[in-house]
Amino acid sequence: MRSIQRRLSLGLIGVMVVVGLVLAQTSLWLFELGLQRYLEAGLRNDSENLLVALVRGPQGLQLDERRLSPAYQRPFSGHYFRIDFADVHWRSRSLWDQELPRLDHPGLHSNLQLGPEGQKLLVLRTDYRRLGQAISISVAQDYTPVRDSFRRMQQVSLGLGLAGLLLILLLQRITVRRALRPLDRAREQIAQLQRGQRSQLDEQVPRELEPLVTQINHLLAHTEDSLKRSRNALGNLGHALKTPLAVLQSLASNEKLDPYPELRKLLLEQLEQVRQRLNRELNRARLSGDALPGAHLDCDAELPGLLATLNMIHGEHLHLSYVAPPGLHLPWDREDLLELLGNLLDNACKWADAEVRLTMTETAEGFSLAVEDDGPGIPKDRRDQVFSRGTRLDEQTDGHGLGLGIVRDIVDTWGGLLALDDSEWGGLKVVIELPKR
């Protein structure tokens, strides 16, 4: 979809071009019309002067050339006349060897062309009666300089119009950007919501955005409240079922079932599966998090403390280290990530001889987390077993066997991949691939 700014710019260009062209053409037309009316007044004055120059002579009407303007004597001066009466006509010497055609009707005409220089003429024909004669006087003026000035004016106007349009577009772009800043702030606040840095959007927004922000805040509050109620109900159900499960397990161990060892074994197995499934679903509900995500994990700030704590638990003989890009932030809930890394590193410390290393890298697809140790490792044909809750491959080692099962639940919830591989030290390497969010 095209951006709002682009659509506004295109719409503004279209409106400005149409309105500008209409205004420019109308203005030029009105200006030219006014100029022609002004020149017509001058031509009418010249026509009346020619009428006055007509005097009675011995042979009838004659033209007193002493009363004529010198411009009518100079060839192609730009000022011409033609006088028609009876069957005769006189013309100005400025026409030279050209002829000014007789116009069909009185009035102003602007379509005549004269002379080798192609002068455009503005001609006014006026009819009079003088000394008992019907006289038609046509007075012409060279209109070429005016047309050239008009052409230059049109070019200048076009240039100024384009410059004005560019200036308007620039101002419009600045105005639209400033008007859309609240949307940018809302987008930043939504990103902060995703990172767990705020719980609601700021309601101090322009009036046009108030309904949207209010609705989003209402939706956030409603979603968070619904999820909390759902998690509380699921937790209450889980805790309510734990007591009957404990009673049933106690009854299954009762001496009255000694004669029925197979029945006891079956009951205990089924009850254990129910307990494990209940714990799994309760853990998944916890991992679903609140409606708003918690704070993200700052690797530089959190990992040194986590490794120091594990060192204190498992002894100073272990060398725990981590490799991560400076300033790396993982875009998942901090508490869940600490639990995931804590379980992985704790399991690695239990089996390691001297080295445990956490490696974090950011890829185009997401993030890669790897925990490796220099312990005995796990045979490839038995690696799938460690993901089952309660399964321990060595019963002599302290632990409850739920570490990797919890890790797998967290990774599955986030849509990631969990795999076991060989460490470069010969021990186990747990690799987690998490997609970007």
Pairwise CA distance, residues 81 & 44, whole Å: 12
pLDDT for 248-283, tens place per residue?
A: 878 888 887 788 888 888 888 888 888 777 776 666
According to the model, what pLDDT value does residue 400 have?
A: 36
- Overall fold of domain 296-435: Heat Shock Protein 90 (3.30.565)
Closest CA to 216 of 242, 239, 193, 232: 193
According to the model, what pLDDT value does residue 387 have?
A: 61
- Overall fold of domain 4-148: Beta-Lactamase (3.30.450)
pLDDT for 380-403, tens place per residue?
A: 877 776 665 444 444 334 433 445
Residue 67 is encoded by which pair of tokens? 């009363």
CB 123 within 8 Å of CB 103: yes
Pairwise CA distance, residues 65 & 79, whole Å: 15
Angle between helix 334-351 and helix 403-413 axes, rounded to 10 deg? 150
What is the residue extent of each domain of the chain? 4-148, 209-288, 296-435
According to the model, what pLDDT value does residue 431 have?
A: 93
CA distance readout (Å), 109 to 113, 129, 221, 414 = 11, 22, 80, 86
According to the model, what pLDDT value does residue 286 have?
A: 56
Pairwise CA distance, residues 409 & 70, whole Å: 109
According to the model, what pLDDT value does residue 196 have?
A: 65
According to the model, what pLDDT value does residue 357 have?
A: 94
Q: What single letter denotes the amino acid at residue 175? A: T
Q: Kindly give the parts of the chain with pLDDT less than 70.
A: 1-5, 111, 114-117, 194-197, 280-295, 385-403, 437
According to the model, what pLDDT value does residue 356 have?
A: 93
Q: What is the pTM of this model?
A: 0.44
